[in-house]
Chain A
């Protein structure tokens, strides 16, 4: 069975500081991992994905995520936070052999960047 966990409901960071949003996963096969962001009154937008290859994946808006197979984690990171990064972030996972409809989303982490 697939599952994904985002252990923090909320993360608060000062502008200019590095940020990390945590995600751990469980799949039976090779994991396909995704991060989506939801700004207020908007739908989810794709940020980045890991399918295979380099463990450090770079995405939109300066975000990156590191795939760690031994820790089954896929944490989202950014070296310097902006106030405009404040949003709800969803981690998602899918077994590489299943269809996109089988993607499992986490419960979301609200990121708040204070000026």
Chain B
């Protein structure tokens, strides 16, 4: 195991539902990330939190709302999603604040497979 846990593993929701994805890291890391993985596409970075502050938001629609209450937990709140939002959502963490260490590697959770009907 990588030390990064995501729940739920699978989620099916309607376009009018509100749901949340949860990520917890047990590594003592200081930066956490949300990525979107779609088939045959590069991983898309969505959000980055460093020391519980959002440091990046890569033009993600407002129907995705992240929350980082502490350095170990990261949430992605979902509201009025579209079918094209169906994908695997991956959480990751890295050790240093702002992930500034040059050789930094990312530790990923197993992801939440999201289907929007």
- A residues with CB within 8 A of B: 4, 9, 32, 34, 36, 41-46, 49, 51, 90, 96, 99-101, 103-108
Partner of A99, one of B41, B99, B110: B99
> Is B103 a contact of A44 with CB atoms below 8 Å?
no
Given A34-B105, A99-B98, the answer on whether A104 and B42 have CB atoms closer than 8 Å is: yes
Knowing A100-B94, A101-B55, the reply to whether A43 touches B99 (Cβ < 8 A) is no
Residues of A within 8 A of B105 (CB): 34, 46, 49, 100
Query: With contacts A41-B110, A43-B111 known, is A105 near B103, CB below 8 A?
Result: no
- List CB contacts (< 8 Å) of B67-114 with chain A: 90-92, 94, 96, 98-111
Interface class of chain A by DSSP: mixed
B13: Cβ under 8 A from any A Cβ? no
Q: In the complex, which of the residues A41, A42, A100 contacts B106, with contact meaning CB atoms closer than 8 Å? A: A100
